[in-house]
Copies of this chain bind each other. A is one copy, B any other.
Amino acid sequence: MTPEKKRTELRELGEFRLIEHLTQNAIPINSSTIKGVGDDAAIISPEGKRMVVTTDLLLEGIHFDLVYTPFKHLGYKAVVVNLSDVYAMNAKPKQVTVSIGVSAKLCLEDLDELYEGIYLACRHYGVDLVGGDSSSSLTGLTISVTAIGEVADEKIAYRSGAKLNDLICVTGNLGAAFMGIQLLEREKRVLKGVTGAKPQLDGYSYLLERFLKPEARKEIVEKLDEFGIVPTSMIDISDGLSSEMMHICKNSEVGCRIYLEKIPINEQTFRLAEEMNLDAFVAALNGGEDYELLFTVPIGLHEKIDEIEGVKVIGHITEQDKGVYMVTPDGNEIALTAQGWNAIKGE
């Protein structure tokens, strides 16, 4: 925060005027949004589709650090991580609600930036902000988002539908967000107490973006739809590939083989991992916050899947008693463990 920045204290407004101010741009664009902000509840017309509902809580000091997280990015990310869960059901997000608990250290201009990011994500993904709640908080900033989407019944992709011999597919690349936060944390440590110094982030802008302003894989779900493909199972990668693969195998009562060398990893991820003496594959397997999609399709769709840009086949589904394993290039099999990103253990 630069000293020149205007600072309007929240207590000057009060709750009702704050809500009015923050939601004045919340004009619904989706035909399924019958009534958005401004009543006891929003009204949605599902138009014959199934509704998908998911929610995530973001807490200051646990999920984000305001030292290196711009408010606009934070608002964008808070929406995106929820939309990612909607896409993971093979559904299209249509509405979000956003609740915030705000400590006295924040001013109206901070919240304006936060909501700029929220609205930007809404526009980019075509969703309506239809409700929420705001309150003061005695402590840190709290953000709770609920996302609502729609999907035809026959297109829902649960975690539980993976079948023997299905191909295991992953979108984009993994481990970049984890390396992004490693970099930010390193620079925070280095610069602690040093005034005027600037963090050394050159050459890793992709990693920072992956952590600070992730995207949900809208275009993949649209492409699958266009190709007439319904994944037999799907999940979004928020806790690392290992953990998500185990969820699919457990829920589908199957095993799997993932091939280590097939896991897609970005060049910057490899480079920073080497610089920091970390293992890029561990970042991909256990890092989390990638918000890529992990899904399975019948083996007969191999050629079709190869045509979709940004999707890579990394393994296949086995019988359950074969276990959940990763295969290294030299043929060793290593059992996957759900280390994952664990908000409770990680305290």
Contact = CB atoms under 8 A, between A and B. Distances in A.
A41 B89 contact: yes
A52 B41 contact: yes
Interface string A78-103: 00000001101101000101011110
Contacts of A45: 50-51, 153
A270 to B, nearest CB: 29
A120 interface: no
Given A62-B137, A62-B138, A86 B51 contact: no
Given A144-B144, A343-B134, A347-B104, A40 B54 contact: yes
Contacts of A159: 38-40
A60 interface: yes
Given A51-B46, A59-B142, A149 B15 contact: no
A344 B18 contact: yes
B135 A43 contact: no
Contacts of A147: 41
A233 to B, nearest CB: 10
Q: How many copies does the complex hold?
A: 2
Nearest to A235: B40
Contacts of A338: 16
A136 interface: yes
Interface stretch (A125-133, A181-189, A258-266): A125-133
A13 interface: yes
Contacts of A54: 40-42, 97, 131
A102 B131 CA distance: 24
Given A42-B53, A56-B133, A142 B101 contact: yes
A10 interface: yes
A34 interface: yes
A57 interface: yes
Interface string A1-24: 000000000110111101000000
Given A60-B138, A63-B135, A43 B50 contact: yes
A56 B142 CA distance: 12
A284 interface: no
Nearest to A34: B50
Nearest to A100: B57
A320 interface: no
Interface string A176-210: 00000000000000000000000000000000000
A55 interface: yes
Given A53-B131, A57-B142, A89 B40 contact: yes
Interface of A: 10-11, 13-16, 18, 34-35, 38-46, 50-57, 59-63, 85-86, 88-89, 91, 95, 97, 99-102, 104, 130-140, 142, 144, 146-149, 151, 153, 156, 158-160, 234-236, 251, 338, 340, 342-347
Given A43-B51, A44-B50, A138-B140, 6 more contacts: A15-B345, A41-B91, A41-B149, A45-B50, A46-B46, A55-B99
